[in-house]
Amino acid sequence: MSSLRRILRDVAIVSSGQVVTWLATFLFVLAQARSLGPASFGELSLALSYATFFAVVVDFGVSTYLTRAVAQRENAERAVLWTAVTTRAALWLIAMPLAWLATMVLGYEAELQATTLILVGSLLFVGSSGALTAFYQGKERFLLPTLANIVQRVAAAIVGILVLQAGLGVISVAVVYAISAAFALILLAAGLRGTGLLRIRVEPRANWRLVRSVLPIAIYWVAGTLYFNVDMVLIERLMPREALGNYAAAYRLFSAAAILPAIVCGTVLYPMYARLSGASSAALRPVVQKTIAYLALAGILVAVVFVSLASPIVGLLYPLPAYAPAASALRLLAPGLFFLYVNSVLGSALFALRLERRLVLIATTAAGLNTIANLALIPVFGIEAAAAITSLTEIFLFGCLLVASPRGLVGSASRRFATRAALVGGVTALALLPLTPAPIAISAPLGALVFGGACLLFRALPADDLRLATALLRGRIAARRLG
């Protein structure tokens, strides 16, 4: 099977699963927003932000290291897998008291404190599942992790919606998240039965060596998670809870749109990046440039739709007028998505090339500037400031990643595709302007049609890929006729 077809197959597996999990998660989010109201919805979103941050502490860069090590066949599989699992368990033991201390110091009420601690407690299951998923990814096996993710998200959505309808509140929702994470872990472990990999192997020295080797990766992910979540914490401190709920409503849409680069770069292509980078950076270059071309197009489409149709989208998904302020925040978050899509490619490539020390400096600088800006501007401009700062942070990261990338990795071809994507986005935005009063069921498809036509007009899609797609399509049609 050719590399392109294998990539397309893997993307199809993961993206199909993500469509299911995204729909389940999104329905669950909408149920939370409608059942809890802005104040309680904001509390739950804040607790989930803490869980996200401590998830990175528990991971500590281990997943990135494990996927790369398995893909490049650096170590014995059983040894590296159990070192990753036991290291995560030890880090979870550190994270739990830190989470409790944070909720006590910040003076959170009992419900918010309990919700946060339950979600952080569930990271024992999430962390172990993450290690197994990283192992499967390193082997470029995506089906079982995809199924486990579907089980976790769909079960959480179904049971969680029933819990909300019963009026049981945010603590019960947190318990649902924890139980669904345990189910996913059981399924992932079952996939390794009969391989000998499930025999427990604990080596404290190996754990310590792993922690030292992944420290730069860990600092990068901790800093990155900080600038993605510190705005939630600061809004809770500086603004009313209703403002936190409105920002959470917009940010959940931003996070949902960020799933695509996570699938393409973080899940499917990173093992390939790691394998190719073992040969040379030149072997990695064409894959990186092609990924940038497609994700730049996807990012500009999502950003234009969110900017142009923010009010209709918010009105469709959340009850008005309670969540009306979320629309302005969504407009300001949207431009950051284009840069986030491209940044995901560059960040994955630098990890594969073992240049994480460059990423550490970039991420820590971004986290510091982001926090300072939020502290200064949220009290004056509210949630709109937090949204704008998120987009500006992605633009800052984009510039830094370009500078940090090895010479020739991006290349002039990627820059040309980015320019064409910007032209396509401009045409699509102009076409959507008169359509904003129309129902979103009409405006969004028309915008997509304009976008597709503009891609062809400005030749934004790689010509060789169009020829390959056309040849494959003709081959399929011919085979069906013969059949």
Q: Which domain holds residue 10?
A: 1-202
Q: Shortest CA distance to 317 belongs to which of 308, 326, 307, 328?
A: 326
Mean pLDDT of 81-106: 89
Q: Does 93 score more than 90 pLDDT?
A: yes
> Considering the chain, what percentage of its residues have pLDDT values greater than 90?
28
Least confident of 315-319, 387-391, 474-478: 474-478
> Considering the chain, what percentage of its residues have pLDDT values greater than 70?
87
pLDDT at 62: 80
Residue 171 shares a structural domain with residue 266: no
Confirm whether 218 is domain-assigned.
no
The band of 10, judged by pLDDT with boundaries at 50, 70 and 90, is low
Confirm whether 255 is domain-assigned.
no
pLDDT at 362: 92
Q: In total, how many domains does the chain have?
A: 2
Tell me the C-alpha distance between 89 and 94, whole Å: 9
Q: Considering 150, 176, 202, which residue would you say is the last residue of a domain?
A: 202
Residue 339 shares a structural domain with residue 460: yes
pLDDT at 325: 93
Residue 434 shares a structural domain with residue 327: yes
Confirm whether 136 is domain-assigned.
yes
Confirm whether 252 is domain-assigned.
no
Q: Does 70 score more than 90 pLDDT?
A: no
Residue 198 shares a structural domain with residue 274: no
Least confident of 97-101, 183-187, 188-192, 419-423: 419-423
Tell me the C-alpha distance between 245 and 41, whole Å: 6
Residue 184 shares a structural domain with residue 288: no
Cβ neighbours of 316 (radius 10 Å) = 13
Number of helices (H), then strands (E), in the chain: 19, 0
Q: Does 7 score more than 70 pLDDT?
A: no
In this predicted model, what pLDDT tens digit does every residue of 188-212 receive, in sequence order?
A: 888 888 777 767 767 777 777 777 7
In this predicted model, what pLDDT tens digit does every residue of 301-345 receive, in sequence order?
A: 899 999 989 999 998 889 888 899 999 999 999 999 999 999 998
Where helices occur in 258-280 by DSSP H, the ranges are 259-261, 270-277
Residue 4 shares a structural domain with residue 140: yes
Q: Does 475 score more than 70 pLDDT?
A: no
Q: Considering 182, 202, 222, which residue would you say is the last residue of a domain?
A: 202
Residue 336 shares a structural domain with residue 416: yes
Average pLDDT, the chain: 83
Q: Considering 186, 202, 218, which residue would you say is the last residue of a domain?
A: 202
In this predicted model, what pLDDT tens digit does every residue of 209-252 receive, in sequence order?
A: 777 777 887 888 888 888 888 998 899 889 988 999 999 999 98
pLDDT at 209: 77
The band of 477, judged by pLDDT with boundaries at 50, 70 and 90, is low
Q: What is the DSSP letter of 139?
A: T
pLDDT at 442: 85
Q: What is the DSSP letter of 318?
A: S
pLDDT at 265: 75
**Does a cis peptide bond (omega within 30 degrees of 0) precede residue 286?**
no
Confirm whether 196 is domain-assigned.
yes
Confirm whether 242 is domain-assigned.
no
Confirm whether 208 is domain-assigned.
no
**What SS3 state is found at 375?**
helix
Q: Give the residue, 469 or 225, on which the prediction is more confident.
A: 225
Tell me the C-alpha distance between 269 and 290, whole Å: 12
Residue 277 shares a structural domain with residue 198: no
- The reported pTM is 0.77
Confirm whether 371 is domain-assigned.
yes
In this predicted model, what pLDDT tens digit does every residue of 406-425 receive, in sequence order?
A: 887 776 656 677 677 778 88
Residue 295 shares a structural domain with residue 188: no
Q: Shortest CA distance to 288 belongs to which of 397, 448, 111, 406?
A: 406
pLDDT at 463: 61
Residue 195 shares a structural domain with residue 267: no
Tell me the C-alpha distance between 207 and 214, whole Å: 11
